Amino acid sequence: MKMIPAPMTLFDNTTLECSKLITQRYSTSFTLGIKTLHPRFHNPIYAIYGFVRFADEIVDTFHSHDRAGLLERFKQETYQALEEKISLNPVLHAFQMVVNKYKIDLEFIDAFLRSMEMDLTDQKYDCDLYDDYIYGSAEVVGLMCLRVFCEGDSEMFDRLKASACALGAAFQKVNFLRDIRSDYQDRGRVYFPKVDFRSFCNKDKEEIEQDIQQDFDDAYAGILALPRGAQLGVYLAYIYYLKLFKKIKQLPAAQILAERVRVPDNTKFALLLSSYIRFQLNTI
């Protein structure tokens, strides 16, 4: 007798597939990283990425629409999905399943959405506002993923929380440095405090790089302490961003302002292979 999937199971799985597709379309590097996680982590991390990607898309892309209205609607639908444990928006339904299953802190979601709201207006970032934005836009995403990886182990989560924040901050700051030209010209943003895009120089760049390097250093010990099923995927993301960071460091400020630095796909696959070998040999 042919078995017919239960309607909710079919719906749940379909929404998770939607989040996976979003990840694959938007980020080659994160897709590669997720594939190297243990399979039990794939769908939860796809769901988190799909949620944060769509929110970011609202504020960064939909300039011909009422972005504030769209984000407010997305925000309200997010909280409704979390409360009711269902949404007809497939991204939000997949996300609420993960939030409720892994008991992801509502404070992380609040902070993330506040940072998205900050992107709706031109901001001059002082040190406090910059730290708040980094926390909400990046660090809490790492903390959401850490909740998944720890699978209910609160002691492990507390022990690795600082490293997860450092890794998220490093990724975001590298993105800011790589995209400083487009952020300023296309969106009117310069995230780094005390930096004037019009006079951005090598000294400014070097000070930013010192801060980023400290974040990478603080993150590494936490990667080594992750559950083995999560370690390779997170390490691969770390190595990819570290490679991008090193390319940026080799260039003068004027070149960063003139072009967007990237890591070619063949280099990403080489990093994947070398990371896998090191992981198998326990030498990461």
pLDDT, one tens digit per residue, over 133-165 is 999 999 999 999 999 999 999 999 999 999 999
pLDDT at position 4: 47
Does 194 map to a domain?
yes
- Please count the other Cβ atoms lying within 10 Å of the Cβ belonging to residue 252: 11
Residue count of the chain, please give it.
284
Instruction: Please check whether residue 95 lies inside any domain of the structure.
Output: yes
pLDDT for residue 130 is more than 90: yes
Give the confidence band of 32 by pLDDT, cuts at 50, 70, 90: confident
Query: How far is C-alpha 73 from the geometric centre of its chain's CA atoms?
Result: 22
Within a domain: 2:
no
Q: What is the mean pLDDT of residues 226-252?
A: 96
Can you state the angle between helices 67-84 and 106-118, rounded to 10 degrees?
A: 170
Task: Indicate whether 237 belongs to any domain.
Answer: yes
Q: What are phi and psi of 245, to 5 degrees?
A: -60, -45
User: Domain limits at 267?
Assistant: 7-280
Tell me if 98 is assigned to some domain: yes
Render pLDDT for 179-209 as a digit per residue (tens, 0 to 9).
998 888 877 778 999 888 888 999 999 999 9
Over 60: is that where the pLDDT of 1 sits? no
Count of the separate structural domains present in the chain: 1
Tokens of 255: 């070149």
pLDDT of residue 45: 98
Q: Which CATH number is 190's domain given?
A: 1.10.600.10
Residue 75 lies in a domain: yes
**pLDDT value of position 136:** 98
Burial level of 194, CB count in 10 A (0-12/13-18/19+)?
exposed
* Mean pLDDT across the chain: 94
| Structure confidence by residue, pLDDT tens digits, 39-89 | 999 999 999 999 999 999 999 999 999 999 999 999 999 999 999 999 999
Residue 246 counted as domain residue: yes
For the question of whether the overall pTM of this predicted structure is more than 0.85, the answer is yes
258 assigned to some structural domain: yes
